[in-house]
Amino acid sequence: MSRQYVAEMLIDLGERIHIRSEVKPKCEQELPFEIKSARYELFAPGENLEDEGECTINGHELDALIQPRMVGTYTFKYVYEVADEIWIDAVRLKVS
């Protein structure tokens, strides 16, 4: 299965960081919408779920505080609800 990432980040082992993302419609137009709820999932190398929790929502911005526990390539996912849909955005994290 091929996964599409919305971003890639490099971080150092031991860092505790905020990952913030602004949600925008793919059509690039200013459309009114509200993010009803948001959570995150952090998958360690090997696709094992290492952490999960609620995101802070500020308008159209999502914010999560994470601290990966090992070196390797992680997948971080925002899982959020807009109207009657659930959207998922993935970020590739390279921890060294």
DSSP single-letter state for residue 55: P
Q: Which residues does 82 contact at the CB level (< 8 Å), separation at least 6? A: 23, 33, 34, 35, 36
Taking only the tens of pLDDT, the chain with its 96 residues reads: 456 777 899 999 999 999 999 887 666 666 788 899 999 999 999 899 999 999 999 999 999 999 999 999 999 999 999 989 999 999 999 999
Q: Which of 41, 50, 47, 51 is nearest to 76 (CA)?
A: 41
Looking at residue 1, its pLDDT comes to 46
Give the Cα separation of 2 and 94 in Å (integer).
18
pLDDT at 7: 84
Domains recognised in the chain with CATH numbers: 7-95 (2.60.40.1930)
pTM, rounded to two decimals: 0.88
Query: Strand 7-11 and strand 85-95: pairing?
Result: parallel
